Amino acid sequence: MALVLNLVCTLIYQGRAALGKSLSVDIQGLRSIRYHEAMEEEVPNLDIAKTYLERILDKRIHPKTMCPSEAARALSKGELETSHVTEWRELMQPLRRLVFEMRDSGEVEVLQKGLVLPSDQTVEETTGPIRLRRAR
């Protein structure tokens, strides 16, 4: 019976996690299963930040590089609000994902310590500062 209850809890948890919800279970007899809606976070709008990123890249002649934070820091307070964030640091992780998407489409090269990252290296596998430049 306990094995069946564990399996049911696991399936419920996985289904809720896939929906972006968390599950709180009182295992003692499974008297209560409470669902908590995960805080709905507004996804940052990267349109303005991407425009700044493109402008900065256009001004840098190969092999000159830039840090993605240069684009994030360029946003005004109003542009940050339009992007659904309160400070530039909140844009950094989404901006890093965007940079890797641009790399995958052949627009830019992503570097660490002066070396171009392998094309199969993902953003999740990459820790530490990155720089980018237009691909040739």
Q: Is residue 42 part of a domain?
A: no
CB 131 within 8 A of CB 66: yes
Same domain, 64 and 32: no
- Could you tell me the residue range of the domain that residue 122 belongs to? 47-134
pLDDT along the chain (136 residues), means of 10: 55 54 48 41 90 98 97 98 97 98 98 98 97 96
CA separation for the pair 110, 132 (Å, rounded): 5
pTM: 0.70
Same domain, 118 and 81: yes
Same domain, 21 and 75: no
Task: Name, in order, each residue with C-beta under 8 angstroms of 45's C-beta and a sequence gap of 6 or more.
Answer: 82, 83, 84
As beta bridge partners, residue 32 has 26
C-alpha distances in Å from residue 11, one per residue of 6, 28, 65, 114, 118: 9, 18, 47, 46, 37
